[in-house]
């Protein structure tokens, strides 16, 4: 029998909507006050989805604080919601530079090829010679310049240093971000996804993790913490029950079509699995892929 019958689907939808167990969904909290990087259990300068799940287990009392002391920011022997949210913030944006560990590269490692074309249009877009020098040069057509030409979680500027403007038309386009697993029966308890979309053609209402962005993303199975940069969206997804979810739609994103823009094709969107964990929690990033389906 299919694992997710209608009652379990409804329970997960309710759990995700109300943020049962953690993470979100009151908006992102402030970063850790101490020098450590909250949630960075292995001190590699990044917070993985398996580390977030370890933090949830500590908060639930099913694991000891000693499993990952960096979650316990105030050293009170427990993990509270604000500490979990600080760790989610670090998973989205990278560990703070004051944390004593290197900030992770914003470029995610590509996963196995997905079932459909997912390459973004970025390589064909004009790139100024000055793009990547850390100075936004409007006369070269740049709208941002963060000192590099990488794209990935926490990167607020795309590889071509240009985020196209969008005048909303009011027309909505729904993108289902579907994840696949190998083997097919692998259960996933958490995902970090990076979804690149064609800026200037569609846009997510709002920016970063404000209420408009929170209202534009939804999941039947996962609690979601999104972060939108107006050209791409990063989403940290955790199964509220920590029992694992079968391959399928991870998250749906409501986009607004820009005025005068053509109807986009699915090939104009790209999805990268930045991080994935099973319920144990063990990293299974190389066993999960994703793609975008429009409807």
pLDDT at 9 over 80: no
User: Rounded to whole angstroms, how far apart are CA atoms 23 and 173?
Assistant: 27
Model confidence pLDDT, tens digit, residues 42-71: 999 999 999 999 998 888 677 899 999 999
User: Rounded to whole angstroms, how far apart are CA atoms 168 and 203?
Assistant: 8
- Of the pLDDT bands very low, low, confident and very high (cuts 50, 70, 90), residue 8 is low
User: Rounded to whole angstroms, how far apart are CA atoms 268 and 251?
Assistant: 18
Model confidence pLDDT, tens digit, residues 217-229: 999 999 998 999 9
- Paired with 218 in beta bridges are 252
As a whole number, the mean pLDDT across the chain is 82
Sequential DSSP letters for 154-217: T--S-TTS------EEEEEEEEEEEEEESSTT--BSEEEEEEE--BTTEE-SSSBTSHHHHHHE
pLDDT at 271 over 60: yes
Residue 149: exposed, middle, or buried by beta-carbon count in 10 A (0-12, 13-18, 19+)? middle
- Position 27 scores a pLDDT of 38
- Position 36 scores a pLDDT of 78
How far is CA 202 from its chain centroid? 18
User: Rounded to whole angstroms, how far apart are CA atoms 88 and 93?
Assistant: 9
3-state secondary structure of 254: strand
- Of the pLDDT bands very low, low, confident and very high (cuts 50, 70, 90), residue 122 is very low
- Position 153 scores a pLDDT of 82
User: Rounded to whole angstroms, how far apart are CA atoms 227 and 30?
Assistant: 14
- Of the pLDDT bands very low, low, confident and very high (cuts 50, 70, 90), residue 13 is low
Average pLDDT for 18-29? 40
* Structure tokens that stand for 163 in this block: 């985020």
- Position 123 scores a pLDDT of 40
Rg over alpha carbons for the chain, rounded to the nearest Å, is 19
Model confidence pLDDT, tens digit, residues 159-213: 999 999 999 998 999 999 999 999 999 999 999 999 999 999 999 999 998 999 9
* Cα separation values, 290 from 40, 113, 118, 179, 181, Å: 25, 9, 9, 4, 9
User: Rounded to whole angstroms, how far apart are CA atoms 288 and 273?
Assistant: 7
Query: Which of the given ranges, 87-91, 116-120, 202-206, 233-237, has the highest pLDDT on average?
Result: 202-206
């Amino acid at each position: 029998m299919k694992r997710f019958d209608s009652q379990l689907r409804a329970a997960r939808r309710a759990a995700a909507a109300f943020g049962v167990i953690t993470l979100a969904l009151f908006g992102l909290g402030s970063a850790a006050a101490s020098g450590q990087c909250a949630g960075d259990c292995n001190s590699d300068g990044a917070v993985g989805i398996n580390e977030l799940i370890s933090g949830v287990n500590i908060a639930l009392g099913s694991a000891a604080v000693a499993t990952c002391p960096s979650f316990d920011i105030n050293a009170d022997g427990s993990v509270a919601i604000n500490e979990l949210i600080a760790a989610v913030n670090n998973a989205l944006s990278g560990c703070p530079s004051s944390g004593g560990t290197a900030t992770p590269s914003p470029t995610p490692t590509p996963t196995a090829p997905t079932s459909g074309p997912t390459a973004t249009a970025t390589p064909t877009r004009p790139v100024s010679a000055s793009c990547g020098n850390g100075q936004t040069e409007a006369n070269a057509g740049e709208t941002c310049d963060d000192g590099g030409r990488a794209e990935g979680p926490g990167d607020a500027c795309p590889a071509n240093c240009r985020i196209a403007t969008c005048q909303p038309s009011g027309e909505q386009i729904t993108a289902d971000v579907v994840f696949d697993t190998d083997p097919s029966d692998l259960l996933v308890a958490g995902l970090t996804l990076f979804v690149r979309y064609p800026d200037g053609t569609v846009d997510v209402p709002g920016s970063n993790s404000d209420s408009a962005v929170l209202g534009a993303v939804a999941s039947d199975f996962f609690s979601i913490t999104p972060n939108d940069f107006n050209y791409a969206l990063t989403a940290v997804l955790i199964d509220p029950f920590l029992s694992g979810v079968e391959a399928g739609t991870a998250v749906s994103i409501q986009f607004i079509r820009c005025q005068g823009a053509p109807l986009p094709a699915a090939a104009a969107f790209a999805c990268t699995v930045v991080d994935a964990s099973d319920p144990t929690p063990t990293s299974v990033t190389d066993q999960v892929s994703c793609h975008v389906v429009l409807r």
